[in-house]
A and B are shown apart, each in its own frame.
Chain A
Amino acid sequence: NAGVTQNPKFQVLKTGQSMTLQCAQDMNHNSMYWYRQDPGMGLRLIYYSASEGTTDKGEVPNGYNVSRLNKREFSLRLESAAPSQTSVYFCASSFFRLAGANTGELFFGEGSRLTVL
C-alpha cells in the first residue's frame, strides 16, 4: 500500500538516552519532513529534505539531527533526549507542482508518540 511508514509508533525514553525515528515513503516523492505536534501549538517543522542528499532546518531543530539515507528514507535522531522533546512526531512526504494549476500530494505517517521521562 502506498504511503508513509513511521517506526516506532510508541517509545518511552529516559533523559539523556538516544533514539532514531525511522520514516519511509514509497511514492517517489522528492520532499520529506519531520514535524512535532504539541497540545495548543499545532504542527511545527523540525527538519525537511527537499531532495535526496539535502536537509535543512525548520522552525524547531535544536536537539535533533536528520539523515536522508536515500529517496525513500528520512530518519530523525535524538542524541540526548530531554523531557521537552516529549511529543507526537509526524513524518510526511510531498510532491508539489506550482506552475499553472497547482497540484500536489501531501501524505503523513501515522505518528510516533515519544515520552521522555
Chain B
Amino acid sequence: KNEVEQSPQNLTAQEGEFITINCSYSVGISALHWLQQHPGGGIVSLFMLSSGKKKHGRLIATINIQEKHSSLHITASHPRDSAVYICAVSGYSGGGADGLTFGKGTHLIIQP
C-alpha cells in the first residue's frame, strides 16, 4: 500500500506570498493528483500529472518520479486560496479508484 505524506499539515501566510505544499509517496505510481477542498465544501481536482510540470493560472504542480515527490505552488496567494489541498496517487492498476491513495491534506490560510 502506498504511503502518501504531505507537508506542512498547516500553513498560514500573508496575501501575496509564494506558497509551496509538498507531497511524497512510497511506491511507484502511474499518476498524481492535487485536489482542493474549501471549508464545508466539495472537492475539486486541480491537476493530474505523471511527469514534469503543469500550470493553471497561479497554480503550478511539479512531480519528480525518481524522487517520488511532488510540489504544488501558488504564486501571488490570495485569501480565496484558503482551503485544504490534498495529494492523491494512482497505482498501476488502471489509475482508477483501486489505485487512489490520499494524503491527509494541507490546511492553508491566506491572511489579507
Interface residues on A, range: 20 to 34
> Which partner residue on chain A sits nearest B6 by CB separation?
A42
Given contacts A42-B104, A42-B105, A94-B96, contact A106 B30 (CB under 8 A): no
Distance in angstroms between the alpha carbons of A50 and B94 in the assembled complex? 9
> Which partner residue on chain B sits nearest A46 by CB separation?
B97
With most chain A CB atoms within 10 A of its CB, the pick from B45, B98, B100, B105 is B100
Q: Are A31 and B97 in contact (CB under 8 A)?
A: yes
A 73-91 binary contact with B (CB < 8 Å = 1; else 0): 0000000000000000010
Residues of B within 8 A of A2 (CB): none
Q: List residues 63-105 of chain B with CB under 8 A from any CB of chain A.
A: 86, 88, 90, 94-98, 100, 102-105
Given contacts A96-B96, A98-B95, contact A103 B41 (CB under 8 A): no
Residues of B within 8 A of A98 (CB): 30-31, 50, 90, 94-95
How many B residues, CB 8 Å from partner? 25
Shortest B44–chain A CB gap in Å is 7
Q: List residues 24-77 of chain A with CB under 8 A from any CB of chain B.
A: 31-33, 40-45, 48-50, 56, 58
Q: Are A50 and B96 in contact (CB under 8 A)?
A: yes
Shortest A66–chain B CB gap in Å is 12
A1 at the interface (CB under 8 A from B): no
Distance in angstroms between the alpha carbons of A105 and B72 in the assembled complex? 18
B43 at the interface (CB under 8 A from A): yes
Q: Are B42 and A94 in contact (CB under 8 A)?
A: no
Residues of A within 8 A of B94 (CB): 50, 96, 98
